[in-house]
């Protein structure tokens, strides 16, 4: 199927709805209803799917719908199971404690996936900070780290890396990316600590007194759900998604995930889920509605990308930048897959799963880190935002979040690219950026002290 340029317009219209409608007061009141999001997604996505089917791309639409089901099944399982787990108690919501929370979620992301880490982190983080007036920045940095950048070290961490595993990338290969993981997450956590240090100094004495008075020892409720979480991780790692059995396609992995989800709902502590965690289905319904439209309209958009990719001037740096940029507005898993297949036709040594390793590094970094740049770059982003909004936190809209990521994430990624990818004299600007970020953080911390 040859895709004309205007085949990307439906996808652009979905992005436009997500970005613009929440900013228009009259439209925002309608758009906040999940059934409206579903109607818009179907109204834009179904005609695109029919057009692609009539143009001979029906199989690709089918594969996209299968990927959507896999995507939503995994997100739902992790959302529901983590919704039954609660870290009880209330620490003081100090910059140090908040940073430790984010660091723990960042490490957990590579072990239980960015969705699992984000959903486990967001509720206790919100509970700890409920007496504070300024909370949105903490949720934003949780998205930057636990929901995205932390998932780089294993194929379980982020869906793009799991696609690489299915294409022959060794399981432990992603651990070789630990310097970039440590560099990006270390700078983001340092930046957050400095930012929260300054914001904490602006909190009212009454809020800080209430936070201090509300301290209680830490504990764990809903521990049985940890077993189901292990089952989900094992299913993603070892159970095939589909297998041919008696002439039928059987989604083995999805069946295990659904079983774990149902078991969590039936055997978990209802008080922990519905009263302590204030669990609702709204966040996952919102993600499902929006991403259905995005997945369907993405079919021609990715087709156009495949046509244009061979004409792009690709090297390690441009591959990282393009993959990261597209991962921020397209789902990062199909973006990774597209450039992975493209890279198999590029020269270079040594090869990893048929891809020159330098390009595989660039694609992996771009897909994982680029997902942090927008709300739609990775599934957990919207889910974390929705949980925070449901808890009464005034989160930034699509454009506002872009401002946050442009200010705090992009400079770190530019520095990482200059130091780790470009090499030579190009690394000098990277070290200059790092020095500037560290100096700026140091000034914030020192100002908050005095």
Find the domain containing 128 and state its range.
5-449
d(CA 362, CA 421): 8
Is 47:299 a contact under the CB 8 Å cutoff?
no
Furthest-apart CA atoms within the chain: distance in Å: 72
Residue 250 dihedral angles phi and psi, to the nearest 5°: -110, 120
The values of phi and psi at residue 395, to 5°, are -85, 150
Please, what's the b/e burial string for 118-146 (b: 16 or more CB within 10 A of its CB; e: otherwise)? bbbbbbbbbbbbbbbeebbbbbbbbbbbb
The model's pTM: 0.79
Question: What is the SS3 assignment for 32-78?
Answer: CCHHHHHHHHHHHHHHHHHHHHHHHHHHHHHHHHHHHHHHHHHHHHH
Task: Decide: 389 and 378 in contact? Cβ < 8 Å.
Answer: no
pLDDT in tens, the chain (450 residues): 788 888 889 988 887 887 778 767 778 788 888 899 999 999 999 999 999 888 888 888 888 888 788 878 887 888 888 888 887 767 778 899 999 999 999 999 998 888 878 888 888 888 888 888 889 999 999 999 999 999 999 887 887 887 788 778 888 899 999 999 999 999 999 999 999 998 988 888 888 888 777 677 777 888 889 899 889 888 877 887 776 555 567 788 889 999 999 999 998 788 888 887 778 888 888 888 888 988 888 888 878 877 776 677 778 888 899 889 988 887 677 678 778 877 877 778 888 888 889 999 999 999 999 999 998 888 788 888 988 988 888 899 888 999 999 999 999 999 999 888 766 556 777 888 888 888 888 888 877 765
How many structural domains comprise the chain? 1
β partners of residue 243: 250
């Amino acid at each position: 199927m040859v895709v004309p340029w205007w085949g990307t317009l439906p996808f652009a219209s979905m992005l436009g709805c997500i970005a613009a409608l929440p900013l228009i007061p009259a439209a925002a009141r309608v758009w906040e209803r999940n059934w409206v999001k579903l109607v818009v997604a179907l109204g834009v996505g179904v005609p695109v799917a029919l057009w692609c089917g009539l143009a001979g791309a029906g199989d690709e639409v089918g594969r996209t719908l299968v990927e959507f089901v896999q995507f939503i099944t995994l997100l739902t399982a992790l959302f529901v199971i983590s919704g039954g787990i609660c870290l009880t108690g209330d620490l003081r919501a100090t910059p140090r404690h908040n940073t430790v929370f984010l660091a723990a979620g960042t490490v957990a992301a590579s072990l239980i996936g960015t969705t699992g880490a984000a959903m486990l982190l967001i509720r206790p983080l919100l509970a700890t900070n409920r007496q504070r007036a300024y909370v949105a920045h903490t949720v934003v940095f949780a998205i930057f780290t636990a929901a995205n950048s932390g998932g780089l070290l294993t194929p379980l961490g982020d869906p793009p890396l799991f696609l690489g595993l299915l294409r022959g990338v060794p399981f432990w290969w992603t651990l070789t990316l630990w310097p970039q993981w440590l560099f990006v997450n270390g700078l983001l956590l340092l930046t957050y600590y400095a930012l929260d240090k300054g914001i904490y100094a602006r909190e009212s004495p009454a809020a800080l007194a209430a936070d201090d008075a509300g301290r209680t020892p830490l504990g764990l409720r809903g521990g049985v759900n940890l077993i189901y979480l292990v089952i989900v991780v094992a299913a993603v790692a070892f159970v095939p998604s589909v297998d041919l059995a008696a002439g039928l396609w059987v989604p083995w992995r999805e069946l295990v995930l659904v079983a774990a989800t149902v078991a969590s709902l039936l055997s978990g502590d209802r008080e922990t889920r519905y009263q302590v965690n204030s669990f609702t289905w709204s966040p996952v319904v919102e993600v499902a509605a929006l991403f259905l439209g995005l997945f369907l309209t993405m079919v021609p958009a990715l087709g156009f990308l495949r046509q244009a990719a061979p004409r792009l001037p690709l090297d390690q740096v441009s591959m990282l930048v393009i993959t990261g940029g597209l991962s921020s507005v397209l789902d990062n898993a199909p973006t990774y897959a597209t450039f992975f297949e493209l890279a198999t036709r590029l020269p270079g040594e040594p090869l990893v799963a048929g891809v020159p390793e330098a390009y595989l590094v660039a694609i992996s970094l771009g897909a994982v880190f680029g997902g942090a740049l927008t709300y739609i770059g990775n599934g957990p982003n919207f889910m974390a935002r929705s949980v925070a909004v449901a808890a009464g936190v005034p989160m930034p809209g699509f454009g506002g979040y872009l401002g946050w990521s442009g200010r705090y994430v992009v400079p770190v990624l530019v520095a990482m690219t200059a130091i780790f990818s470009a090499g030579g004299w190009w690394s000098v600007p990277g070290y200059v950026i790092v020095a500037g970020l560290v100096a700026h953080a140091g000034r914030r911390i020192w100002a908050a002290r005095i």
